A = this chain, B = another copy of it.
Amino acid sequence: MAIFAANQRASFMYRTHTCDELRIQDAGKTITLAGWVQTVRKFGAITFVDLRDRYGITQLLFGEELNTRLDEQPLGREFVLQVTGAVSERSNKNPQLPTGDIELIVVDFKILNKSAVPPFTITDETDGGDDLRMKYRYLDLRRNAVKKNLELRYAVNRSARNYLHENHFMDIETPFLIKSTPEGARDFVVPSRMNPGQFYALPQSPQTFKQLLMVSGYDRYYQIVKCFRDEDLRADRQPEFTQIDCEMSFVEQEDILNMFEGLVKRIFKDVKGIDYTEAVQRMSWEDAMWQYGNDKPDIRFGMQLTNLKYPAHTFPNRTDISNLINGANFGVFDNAETVIAIAVPGCSEYSRKQIDEITEWVKRPQIGMQGLVNIKVNTDGTYKSSVDKFYDETRLKAIADAVGAKAGDLILILAGAEERTRKAISELRLEMGKRLGMRKDDEFKLLWVLDFPLFEYDADENRWVARHHPFTSPKPSDIEVMINNEPRIANAAEYLKHPYANIKANAYDMVLNGNEIGGGSIRIFQRELQEKMFAALGMSDEEALHKFGFLLGAFEYGAPPHGGIAFGFDRLCSILGGSESIRDFIAFPKNNSGRDVMLDAPSTIDQKQFDELQIQLNLK
How far apart are A290's CB and chain B's nearest CB, in angstroms? 28
Closest B residue by C-beta to A218: B54
A301 neighbours in B (Cβ, 8 Å): none
How far, in angstroms, from A200 to B137 measured CA to CA in the complex? 19
- B588 and A13 form a contact (CB under 8 A): no
Total interface residues on A, CB under 8 Å, equals: 135
From known contacts A199-B602, A556-B116, infer whether A53 and B615 are also in contact, taking CB-CB under 8 Å.
Answer: no
- A151 and B170 form a contact (CB under 8 A): yes
How far, in angstroms, from A220 to B15 measured CA to CA in the complex? 14
- B180 and A559 form a contact (CB under 8 A): no
User: Is residue A418 contacting chain B, with contact meaning CB distance below 8 A?
Assistant: no
From known contacts A11-B258, A172-B587, infer whether A178 and B599 are also in contact, taking CB-CB under 8 Å.
Answer: yes
User: Is residue A343 contacting chain B, with contact meaning CB distance below 8 A?
Assistant: no
User: Is residue A129 contacting chain B, with contact meaning CB distance below 8 A?
Assistant: no
How far, in angstroms, from A114 to B526 measured CA to CA in the complex? 9
- A603 and B199 form a contact (CB under 8 A): yes
User: Is residue A167 contacting chain B, with contact meaning CB distance below 8 A?
Assistant: yes
- A605 and B557 form a contact (CB under 8 A): no
Produce 1/0 per residue, A567-598, CB < 8 A to B: 00000000000000000001110100111101
A596 neighbours in B (Cβ, 8 Å): 175, 177-179
User: Is residue A612 contacting chain B, with contact meaning CB distance below 8 A?
Assistant: yes
A112 neighbours in B (Cβ, 8 Å): 560-561
- A113 and B560 form a contact (CB under 8 A): yes
- A558 and B186 form a contact (CB under 8 A): no
Query: Which of B175, B198, B525, B593 is within 8 Å of A604, CB to CB?
Result: B198
A79 neighbours in B (Cβ, 8 Å): 558
How far, in angstroms, from A202 to B212 measured CA to CA in the complex? 26
How far, in angstroms, from A526 to B36 measured CA to CA in the complex? 16
User: Is residue A209 contacting chain B, with contact meaning CB distance below 8 A?
Assistant: yes
From known contacts A3-B168, A161-B161, A215-B138, infer whether A189 and B605 are also in contact, taking CB-CB under 8 Å.
Answer: yes
From known contacts A11-B258, A168-B1, infer whether A179 and B602 are also in contact, taking CB-CB under 8 Å.
Answer: yes
Binds B, one of A246-254, A344-352, A354-362, A374-382: A246-254
How far, in angstroms, from A313 to B620 measured CA to CA in the complex? 58
A186 neighbours in B (Cβ, 8 Å): 193, 609, 612
How far apart are A398's CB and chain B's nearest CB, in angstroms? 45
How far, in angstroms, from A586 to B213 measured CA to CA in the complex? 12
How far apart are A476's CB and chain B's nearest CB, in angstroms? 11
A616 neighbours in B (Cβ, 8 Å): 615-618
How far apart are A407's CB and chain B's nearest CB, in angstroms? 45
A150 neighbours in B (Cβ, 8 Å): 170, 172, 218
- A617 and B197 form a contact (CB under 8 A): yes
User: Is residue A165 contacting chain B, with contact meaning CB distance below 8 A?
Assistant: yes
Closest B residue by C-beta to A154: B170
A516 neighbours in B (Cβ, 8 Å): none
User: Is residue A187 contacting chain B, with contact meaning CB distance below 8 A?
Assistant: yes
How far, in angstroms, from A610 to B199 measured CA to CA in the complex? 11
Dominant secondary structure at the A interface: loop
Binds B, one of A23-31, A224-232, A493-501: A224-232
- A3 and B604 form a contact (CB under 8 A): no
User: Is residue A279 contacting chain B, with contact meaning CB distance below 8 A?
Assistant: no
- A113 and B526 form a contact (CB under 8 A): yes
Closest B residue by C-beta to A258: B11
Produce 1/0 per residue, A547-565, CB < 8 A to B: 0011001111111110000
- A619 and B196 form a contact (CB under 8 A): yes
A136 neighbours in B (Cβ, 8 Å): 553, 557
Produce 1/0 per residue, A469-494, CB < 8 A to B: 00000000000000000000000000
User: Is residue A90 contacting chain B, with contact meaning CB distance below 8 A?
Assistant: no
User: Is residue A195 contacting chain B, with contact meaning CB distance below 8 A?
Assistant: yes
Produce 1/0 per residue, A140-168, CB < 8 A to B: 01100001001101100110010001011
User: Is residue A614 contacting chain B, with contact meaning CB distance below 8 A?
Assistant: yes
A172 neighbours in B (Cβ, 8 Å): 150, 153-154, 587
User: Is residue A371 contacting chain B, with contact meaning CB distance below 8 A?
Assistant: no
User: Is residue A74 contacting chain B, with contact meaning CB distance below 8 A?
Assistant: no
A153 neighbours in B (Cβ, 8 Å): 172
User: Is residue A419 contacting chain B, with contact meaning CB distance below 8 A?
Assistant: no
User: Is residue A86 contacting chain B, with contact meaning CB distance below 8 A?
Assistant: no
How far, in angstroms, from A86 to B616 measured CA to CA in the complex? 68
User: Is residue A255 contacting chain B, with contact meaning CB distance below 8 A?
Assistant: yes
A252 neighbours in B (Cβ, 8 Å): 13-14
- A12 and B255 form a contact (CB under 8 A): yes
User: Is residue A239 contacting chain B, with contact meaning CB distance below 8 A?
Assistant: yes
User: Is residue A366 contacting chain B, with contact meaning CB distance below 8 A?
Assistant: no
A53 neighbours in B (Cβ, 8 Å): 217, 219
From known contacts A179-B599, A609-B187, A616-B615, infer whether A138 and B255 are also in contact, taking CB-CB under 8 Å.
Answer: no
Closest B residue by C-beta to A242: B173
User: Is residue A327 contacting chain B, with contact meaning CB distance below 8 A?
Assistant: no
From known contacts A53-B217, A192-B602, infer whether A525 and B113 are also in contact, taking CB-CB under 8 Å.
Answer: yes
From known contacts A11-B254, A157-B171, A170-B150, infer whether A176 and B240 are also in contact, taking CB-CB under 8 Å.
Answer: yes
How far, in angstroms, from A253 to B517 measured CA to CA in the complex? 43
User: Is residue A190 contacting chain B, with contact meaning CB distance below 8 A?
Assistant: yes
A37 neighbours in B (Cβ, 8 Å): 558
Q: List 15 A-B contacts (CB under 8 A).
A: A11-B255, A12-B251, A13-B255, A54-B219, A112-B560, A113-B526, A113-B559, A136-B557, A137-B212, A138-B550, A154-B170, A175-B596, A187-B609, A192-B602, A196-B620
Which A residues fall within an 8 A CB radius of B?
1, 3, 8, 11-15, 34-37, 52-55, 78-80, 112-116, 118, 136-139, 141-142, 147, 150-151, 153-154, 157-158, 161, 165, 167-168, 170-180, 182, 186-202, 209, 212-213, 215-220, 226, 228, 230, 232-233, 239-240, 242, 250-252, 254-255, 258, 525-526, 549-550, 553-561, 586-588, 590, 593-596, 598-606, 609-610, 612-620
